[in-house]
Amino acid sequence: MIIPEQNRLLCTSGNIIRVLELENGQELFSLIGHERPITALAITPDHQRVISATGLHTVGRSQNPIQVWDLESKKEVFTLPGHTNLVSALAVSQDGRFLVSASWDDSIKVWNLRNGLEIFQLQGFPSVYSVFITPDDRRILSISADFSLDVWDLHSGRKLSSFRGHGHVRKLA
């Protein structure tokens, strides 16, 4: 992902987040802290924090933490307990208050990015491939392994609608 106003590029390499100079590719610094390969990456709209998650099949145990990093201090702010299977996607609300994580453990979690607490969890569908928060910060869109596109209320977790029959959709943007 690119941070244009800072002329930086963020990328992952195994379990490391690398921050590169966009013009020449020179590594400025790395964020190291995950024990497993990083499977999802997101950044807050103010470009102050980056969120990373890992993925490994660990049924029944929360072994795939989500880490929140401060880019200025280059330190971890906090770790979210994560999911019991691969974390496939992360999305941050436009106001920077909410993080949505999706997993192959058949759940979506909504987090408070200010204090790191889980607000609620959505369950009852197969592995989630992708999540997206609408620009008005009111809805979550998700794509699951059964090829359903579901729309949820970001603040209550209530399912608003569900769409099927769009083929093998895996990503939202």
Domain ranges for the chain: 2-163
Compute φ and ψ for 6, nearest 5 degrees: -105, 0
Q: Contact, 151 vs 161, CB < 8 A?
A: yes
Reply yes or no on whether the pLDDT at 60 is more than 80: no
Q: Count the neighbouring beta carbons within 10 Å of the beta carbon of residue 53.
A: 27
Mean pLDDT of 133-152: 92
Specify the pTM. 0.90
CA 165 to chain centre: 26
Which CATH architecture does the domain made up of 2-163 adopt? 7 Propeller (2.130)
Nearest to 137, CA basis, from 87, 108, 99: 99
Mean pLDDT of 72-88: 89
E strand map for 64-148: 64-70, 75-83, 87-92, 98-103, 107-112, 118-123, 128-133, 139-144
- In the numeric block, which tokens belong to residue 65? 């933490």
Q: What is the mean pLDDT of the chain?
A: 89
Instruction: Specify the long-range contacts of residues 105-109, CB closer than 8 Å, at least 24 apart.
Output: 105/59, 107/83, 108/140, 108/142, 108/152, 109/83
Mean pLDDT of 3-23: 92
- The pLDDT > 70 percentage for the chain reads 90
